[in-house]
Amino acid sequence: MFRVPERCTYAFLRHFHGAASVVMASTLTAEHQSRDNGLHDVALWTRGVDLHMFAPCEPLFGDARHPVFLYVGRVSMVKNIQAFLELDLPGSKVVAGIGPALESLKVRFPRCDSSVCSTPKGSPVSAVLLTSSSFRAARTHSA
């Protein structure tokens, strides 16, 4: 589309990142290319999935119907978890966490085919996340 010379692009990048204390590069190749083209204080910043932490494992909620919708976090009324559990969704809903509303949610939403409310004690968050099909982030207010 637009044919911008590479030297102009790197001139812009040097200007743009000139005041930065560090320029993050996602791969060794990007780090070397950045340094070779005049960017200073380039540091490697790897991203992605930690394959040791997020390795295949046995499902924590093996008896849950799929898909499994997951909330992980503090279990309190301000998190509006009850609205999540009231959603008409196929499969199961899992609440993993502790907090002041846990017991009342367990009573109001007993473990059954359509909703699951539990706290997998001793389970790493990675195992809980691997077991789910969808993840619900905590939100304390509406937009």
Q: Is residue 142 part of a domain?
A: no
Q: Which domain range does residue 40 map to?
A: 6-44
- The answer on 76 and 35 residing in a single domain is no
Q: Report pLDDT digits (tens) over 3-20.
A: 889 889 999 999 999 889
Q: Is residue 55 part of a domain?
A: no
Q: E strands of the chain, at which residues?
A: 23-25, 42-44, 68-72, 92-96, 134-136
The count of domains in the chain is 2
**What does residue 93 show for φ and ψ, rounded to 5 degrees?**
-120, 135
Q: Report pLDDT digits (tens) over 61-105.
A: 667 778 888 888 888 888 888 888 888 888 888 888 888 988 888
Q: Is residue 143 part of a domain?
A: no
- The answer on 74 and 22 residing in a single domain is no
- The answer on 38 and 81 residing in a single domain is no
The predicted model scores a pTM of 0.55
